[in-house]
DNA sequence: TAGATTGTTAATCGATTAACAATC
DNA sequence: TAGATTGTTAATCGATTAACAATC
């Protein structure tokens, strides 16, 4: 599907394209030119064409892009054509919020389990799931073919949990703990550092 | 404190510097060179020095940087020396999770109120706060000198809520809704698009 | 002072934008 | 066909890295 190393800048823009194309599709728009899309998304038409051409030509000269087709193709590039099986480590507020984020399910992200070390939480229901003890982690990953682990615990425990799941063969971690995880080069980590994000906002507010 | 337009790339790195410096400070480290910090953070020493010099010289030739001093200065740049007063719109799972994220409080981010349109949630307790009806929004912002609004509602309502708070003079929005908000140029929006983040992870997993 | 390390200029690299030939 | 718009090459811009003189 894709060739040699697409830049992070391009990858970071794909989900936004996907969202706009999904909206257009829902509105019944059949075709769109890079120029029209550029106005809608407030980027240059040049960038749009360059980005898409990283993955081969999706358009047609003189016509533009077919919205449905482009939407599907970008979905495939993002790996949304196949299901992903996730577990969440940490049944605190954040872990529970993520579990109930049902939208993810529509896109093939299926939450299979939630774990916590606290005996007060183990056995409690979170949406459709029941909080399991950390001892069962490895067996569960194996048994349910988990491919993405969500880390939603404080940073003190995050590093050792990451080590544990990497040892089980997990190759993708969605990390909400405020720490940089050290993983082998074949494991990918996507960080969501909420306090970093809030600090950036604070900076921008301060400068103005 | 800072001069003409620092690039987004630099701003995005500041919170990470701040975190590492805080950790070093806690460990009792007094001084650090750009070289040592570069090894720790896995970036180039050149980048570290260039980044810091956007804000004036914080170091000393032949010595390096004083950890405590640098930590404080970056904190000031990020606006963490003054309190920020926030409200959360949306008392769903995410809104409740953010409210209880007590860490933010330590850094001067004070959650003053939480709002929801659902009559089932109004009046309920979320941490120390009580969920208020949307009708009270404008008066509350005024009365409590709110400077940051957190949007944690589905995208359908997000755009109109953003309009309302902008009309009240709000200049900073932390947006968790999966939509691009259209605001005047003097209003800053920091987006946290969780599903975009998860799609990036899916992409990286697919490519390997 | 000599050694170390910053601050800063210059070189390189990569990403974005512009331009236009190819082609539907 | 003529007009429109892509795919792609070339030009520009900005960010990162390297180098080194300044200086503690």
Query: Per-residue pLDDT averaged across A169-189, rounded?
Result: 97
- Nearest Cα residue in chain A from B92: A97
What secondary structure, in 3-state letters, does A108-151 show? CEEEEEEEECCCCCCCCEECCEEEEEHHHHHHHHHHCCCCEEEE
**In this predicted structure, what is the pLDDT of residue A4?**
59
Q: Give the CA-to-C1' distance from A34 to D12 in angstroms.
A: 21
Residues in chain A: 208
From the Cβ of A53, is strand D under 7 Å away? yes
- For the cut 90, the answer to whether the pLDDT of residue B7 exceeds it is yes
From the Cβ of A10, is strand C under 7 Å away? yes
From the Cβ of A60, is strand C under 7 Å away? yes
Instruction: Report the alpha-carbon distance of residue B102 to residue B115 in Å, rounded.
Output: 18
Please check whether residue A63 touches B, CB under 8 A.
no
Measured between beta carbons, the chain B residues lying within 8 angstroms of A147 are 205
Summary mean pLDDT of chain B: 95
From the Cβ of B17, is strand C under 7 Å away? no
- For the cut 90, the answer to whether the pLDDT of residue A44 exceeds it is yes
Domain boundary assignment for chain A: 8-77, 84-196
Element (H, E) at B143: helix B137-143
Please check whether residue A199 touches B, CB under 8 A.
yes
Contact A203 B104 (CB under 8 A): no
Poorest-pLDDT segment among A99-113, A161-175, B65-79: A99-113
**In this predicted structure, what is the pLDDT of residue A104?**
79
Q: Which of residues 23-62 of A touch B (CB under 8 A)?
A: none
Tens-digit pLDDT profile for residues B151-200: 999 999 999 999 999 999 999 999 999 999 999 999 999 999 999 999 99
- For the cut 70, the answer to whether the pLDDT of residue A50 exceeds it is yes
| In chain A, % of residues over pLDDT 90 | 92
Contact A196 B101 (CB under 8 A): no
Tens-digit pLDDT profile for residues B26-50: 999 999 999 999 999 999 999 999 9
Query: Per-residue pLDDT averaged across A7-14, rounded?
Result: 97
Please check whether residue A19 touches B, CB under 8 A.
yes
| In chain A, % of residues over pLDDT 70 | 97
Assign A105 a pLDDT band (cuts: 50, 70, 90). Answer: low
Whole-model pTM: value is 0.95
CB-contacted nucleotides of strand D (7 Å)? 2-9, 14-19, 22-24
Measured between beta carbons, the chain B residues lying within 8 angstroms of A107 are 195, 198-199
Output DSSP code: residue B205. Answer: H
Token duo for residue A127: 């949406």
Please say whether the structural domain B8-77 has been given the CATH code 1.10.357.10: no
Residues forming beta bridges with residue B42, ordered by sequence position: none
Fold of the CATH domain A84-196: Rossmann fold (3.40.50)
Q: Give the CA-to-C1' distance from A62 to D3 in angstroms.
A: 8
């Amino acid at each position: 599907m894709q060739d040699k190393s697409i830049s992070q800048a391009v990858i970071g823009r794909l989900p936004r394209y996907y969202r706009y194309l999904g909206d257009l599709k829902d509105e019944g728009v059949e075709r769109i030119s890079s120029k029209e899309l550029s106005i809608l998304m407030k980027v240059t038409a040049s960038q749009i064409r360059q980005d898409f051409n990283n993955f081969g030509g999706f358009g047609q000269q003189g016509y533009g892009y077919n919205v449905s087709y482009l939407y599907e193709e970008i979905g495939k590039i993002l790996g949304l054509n196949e299901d992903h099986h996730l577990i969440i480590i940490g049944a605190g507020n954040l872990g529970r919020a993520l579990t109930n984020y049902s939208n993810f399910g529509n896109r093939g992200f299926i939450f299979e389990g939630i774990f916590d070390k606290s005996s007060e939480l183990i056995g409690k229901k979170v949406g459709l799931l029941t909080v399991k003890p950390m001892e069962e982690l490895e067996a569960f990953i194996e048994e349910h073919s988990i491919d993405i682990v969500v880390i939603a615990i404080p940073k003190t425990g995050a590093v050792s949990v990451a080590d544990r799941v990497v040892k089980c063969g997990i190759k993708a971690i969605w990390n909400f703990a405020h720490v940089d995880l050290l993983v082998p080069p074949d494991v990918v980590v996507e960080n969501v550092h909420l306090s970093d994000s809030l600090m950036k906002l604070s900076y921008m507010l301060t400068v103005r």
